[in-house]
């Protein structure tokens, strides 16, 4: 069933056969990563799909926007949910799926999990946007409000009803997000990809790690000749990466006040934080911390340009604009990670039909 697929610890080098719930190396505790010895994404991880991936890349001058908000449930998290659900179906797992999320991953797991026949339980912050809460409920999940984002994470870990599939630690989730790297190579071509700088918003790091892993595999397969520069972007007050070691950190309209605008980036610790830090070191060593003023300005600009995005995406664009204005880069690639339509008020009879 899982021939040519292993879980590998990149710290001590140990390899393990896949099994549900095995996310950390039993020897050293390092979060594991998937290694497919055949295809870029192993066939067992492509068993279930709702049509995710292949998002358009739109060019605006020296900026390229990857429209991840056009995935089935409105975010790049669909890529990871698809590979996780595919793995669980391939392994014969049937337990309740437990996740914690600020919204997008919870929506992805809700839609993909319920569609695949799983019972799904999602723990969310108490101030989760109502639109996101309604979508999770509407897809059929049990949704529990649980204090802060960190509180929701702890509550999910302590729930023993089913299997924890948390996107922040699940190696199969990252295997889904890495597909963006191969798509960018196909869309941009090797020369333009090498000339571009990619700006990635980071909370738990699943997009950054997926992009890093995909680019590394393309490099090892000689499909690219060098790694493009990738800059991490975090929200003011939630830049935990800056405390993990030495990075070149710049701040944009960040006076020390925690973000209220970028709700999806409000994590103070990532389960794969050290892995994410090491990936950033290899890809650029650079982090931009963005405050609400610059983020809101960039948000208005993107929406008026026709991109109906969530706040997270505007931070990456704000960072990209600064680099471009200062003449530090030639081209910028900005993944527009999630849809702003999830923030629209939910007073509508359709939700009542769904039992919300």
Whether residue 292 contacts residue 236, with contact meaning beta carbons closer than 8 Å, is answered with yes
The tens digit of pLDDT for each residue in 322-334 reads 999 999 999 999 9
How far is residue 306's CA from residue 244's CA, in Å, rounded to a whole number?
37
For residue 85, being part of any structural domain is answered with yes
- How many Å separate Cα 353 from the centre of its chain? 31
Q: Residue 278's domain is classified under what CATH number?
A: 3.40.50.1100
Average pLDDT over residues 143-169: 92
Q: Taking 90 as the threshold, does the pLDDT of residue 287 lie above it? A: yes
158 in the same domain as 179: no
Domains: count for the chain: 2
Highest mean pLDDT among 16-25, 91-100, 219-228: 219-228
Query: For residue range 36-84, what is the model confidence (pLDDT) as tens digits?
Result: 988 999 999 999 999 999 999 999 999 999 999 999 999 999 999 999 9
**pLDDT given at position 48:** 97
Provide the pLDDT for residue 255. 81
Residue 145 within any structural domain of the chain: yes
Residues 193 and 316 in one domain: yes
Between CA 125 and CA 103 the distance in angstroms is: 9
Average confidence (pLDDT) over 273-297:
96
Do 166 and 192 have their domain in common? no
Please give the residue range of the domain that contains residue 315: 57-74+173-341
User: 247 with 335, same domain?
Assistant: yes
151, 172, 193 - which closes a domain: 172
The reply to whether 192 falls in a domain is yes
> How large is the average pLDDT for residues 168-195?
97
pLDDT tens digits, 121-136: 999 999 888 888 989 9
pLDDT-above-90 percentage for the chain: 81
Is 36 within a domain? no
Last residue of a domain, which of 143, 172, 201? 172
Do 61 and 183 share a domain, yes or no? yes
Stated pTM of the model: 0.94
Side-chain-facing half-sphere of 352: CA atoms under 13 Å: 3
CB 109 within 8 A of CB 101: yes
Q: Give a yes or no: residue 23 inside a domain.
A: no
- Assess whether 334 and 202 both reside in one domain: yes
* Structure confidence at residue 344 (pLDDT): 75
φ and ψ at 24, to 5 degrees? -120, 150
Inside any domain, residue 10: no
Long-range contact pairs involving 237-240 (C-beta distance under 8 Å, separation at least 24): 238/203, 238/265, 238/266, 238/267, 238/268, 239/287, 239/289, 240/267, 240/268, 240/269, 240/270, 240/273
Average pLDDT score, the chain: 93
Q: Tens of pLDDT along 248-263?
A: 999 999 887 898 898 8
Domain contains 47: no
**DSSP count for the chain of H helices, then E strands:** 11, 14
H or E element at residue 33: strand 33-36
Express each pLDDT in 101-110 by its tens digit: 988 999 999 9
How does pLDDT run across 224-243, given as a tens digit for each residue? 999 999 999 999 999 999 99
249 & 217 share domain: yes
Residues 280 and 296 grouped into a single domain: yes
The answer to whether position 354 is within a domain reads no
Structure tokens, 200: 């990635």
The two structure tokens encoding residue 164: 């924890």
Q: Which of residues 122, 140, 172 is at a domain's end?
A: 172
Residue 106 backbone class (left: φ over 0; alpha: ψ -120 to 50; beta: rest): alpha
- 165 and 81: one domain? yes
Residues 124 and 139 in one domain: yes
- pLDDT tier for residue 150 given thresholds of 50, 70 and 90: confident
CA–CA gap between residue 19 and residue 95 (Å, rounded): 13
Answer yes or no: do 110 and 218 share one domain: no
- Smallest CA-to-CA distance from 7 within 149, 21, 350 is with 21
Q: Is residue 348 scored above 80 in pLDDT?
A: no
Q: Are residues 269 and 129 in the same domain?
A: no
Q: CA angle 264-203-90, nearest 5°?
A: 95
CA distance to 23, 108, 172, per residue, from 31 (Å): 6, 22, 12
**Token digits of residue 356:** 């919300």
**What is the model's pLDDT at position 342?**
85
Q: How much is the pLDDT for 351?
A: 65
Please report the pLDDT score of residue 263 as a whole number. Answer: 83
Q: Is the pLDDT of residue 98 over 70?
A: yes
């Amino acid at each position: 069933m899982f021939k040519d697929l292993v879980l590998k610890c990149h710290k001590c080098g140990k390899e393990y056969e896949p099994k549900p719930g095995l996310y950390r190396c039993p020897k050293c505790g390092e979060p594991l990563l998937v290694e497919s010895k055949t295809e870029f994404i192993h066939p067992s991880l492509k068993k279930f799909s709702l049509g995710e991936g292949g998002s358009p890349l739109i060019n605006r001058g020296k900026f390229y926007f990857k429209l991840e908000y056009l995935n089935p449930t409105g975010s790049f998290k669909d890529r990871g949910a698809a590979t996780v659900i595919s793995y669980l179906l391939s392994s014969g797992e049937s337990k309740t799926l437990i996740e914690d999320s600020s919204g997008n991953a919870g929506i992805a797991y809700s839609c993909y999990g319920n569609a695949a026949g799983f019972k799904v339980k999602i723990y969310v912050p108490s101030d989760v946007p109502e639109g996101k809460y309604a979508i999770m409920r509407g897809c059929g999940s049990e949704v529990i409000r649980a204090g802060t984002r960190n509180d929701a994470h702890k509550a999910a870990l302590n729930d023993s009803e089913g299997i924890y599939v948390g996107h922040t630690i699940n190696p199969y989730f990252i295997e889904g997000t890495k597909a963006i790297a191969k798509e960018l190579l196909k869309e941009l071509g090797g020369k333009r990809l090498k000339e571009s700088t990619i700006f990635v918003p980071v909370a738990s790091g699943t997009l950054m790690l997926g992009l890093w892993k995909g680019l590394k595999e393309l490099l090892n397969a000689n499909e690219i000749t060098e790694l493009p520069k990738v800059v991490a972007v975090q929200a003011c007050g939630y830049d935990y990466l800056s405390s993990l070691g030495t990075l070149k950190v710049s701040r944009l309209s960040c006076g020390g006040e925690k973000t209220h605008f970028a709700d999806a980036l409000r994590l103070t610790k990532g389960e794969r934080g050290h892995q994410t830090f090491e990936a950033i070191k290899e890809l650029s060593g650079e982090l931009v911390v963005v405050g609400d003023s610059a983020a809101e300005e960039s948000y208005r600009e993107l929406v008026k340009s026709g991109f109906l995005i969530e706040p997270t995406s505007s931070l990456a664009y704000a960072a990209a604009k600064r680099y471009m204005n200062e003449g530090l880069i030639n081209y910028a690639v900005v993944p527009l990670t999630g849809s702003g339509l999830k923030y629209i008020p939910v007073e509508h009879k359709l939700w009542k039909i769904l039992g919300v």
